[in-house]
Structure 1
């Protein structure tokens, strides 16, 4: 199994827009409904106010690296990424568990 973890935070210089953020995070939360080969899917907000913390985390599990490779260009994922990059920056880690 391949674990896919992505952390998100607002881009530097972008003011918080609660309605937009709620909409984007909602789309992240339900993206797995369009990706039938995602095994586990969780999106959570950071709960502690510390300088090193990012705002959100997405944790997903796929069967293998090939499934992650199929996920990345998936039309539903690509459409969300196009909107996310206007508001968030992110980092990702993919590893076999």
Structure 2
């Protein structure tokens, strides 16, 4: 069994769009999975359809178990990225055993 961590991101409604900042943050999110050893699978993608229900980005991470998920969540590289994401994005997450 593995644990999956799914996160949806969207620009905060009260935050002006900054294409350069958003591209840099998205690039960092896409690359993070290769930099943290407990990550077994990593997918990051931009939303492709303009529907009101859709968020801007989706992240799908796979780890061995809840302990590995905690290692990822509290890893310094993840924590640094979260600090930079907070002013620009809001997010929703779900974690489940697959």
TM-score, normalised relative to structure 1: 0.97
Q: 1:67 corresponds to which residue?
A: 68
Alpha-carbon distance in structure 2 between the residues aligned to 1:30 and 1:60: 12
Structure 1 runs (4+) greater than 4 angstroms displaced: none
Q: 1:8 corresponds to which residue?
A: 9
Alpha-carbon distance in structure 1 between the residues aligned to 2:37 and 2:30: 14
Task: Please state whether the residue corresponding to 1:67 is helix, strand or coil.
Answer: helix
Number of aligned residue pairs: give it: 97
Query: Pairwise CA RMSD of aligned residues?
Result: 0.6
Structural mapping, 1:4-83, within 5 Å? 4-83=5-84
- Contact map agreement 2:6 2:59 (CA 8 A) in 1: yes
Task: Please state whether the residue corresponding to 2:82 is helix, strand or coil.
Answer: helix
Gaps of 5+ in 1: none
Task: Please state whether the residue corresponding to 2:39 is helix, strand or coil.
Answer: coil
Q: CA deviation at 1:15?
A: 1.3
Gaps of 5+ in 2: none
- Contact map agreement 2:47 2:55 (CA 8 A) in 1: yes
- Contact map agreement 2:38 2:71 (CA 8 A) in 1: no
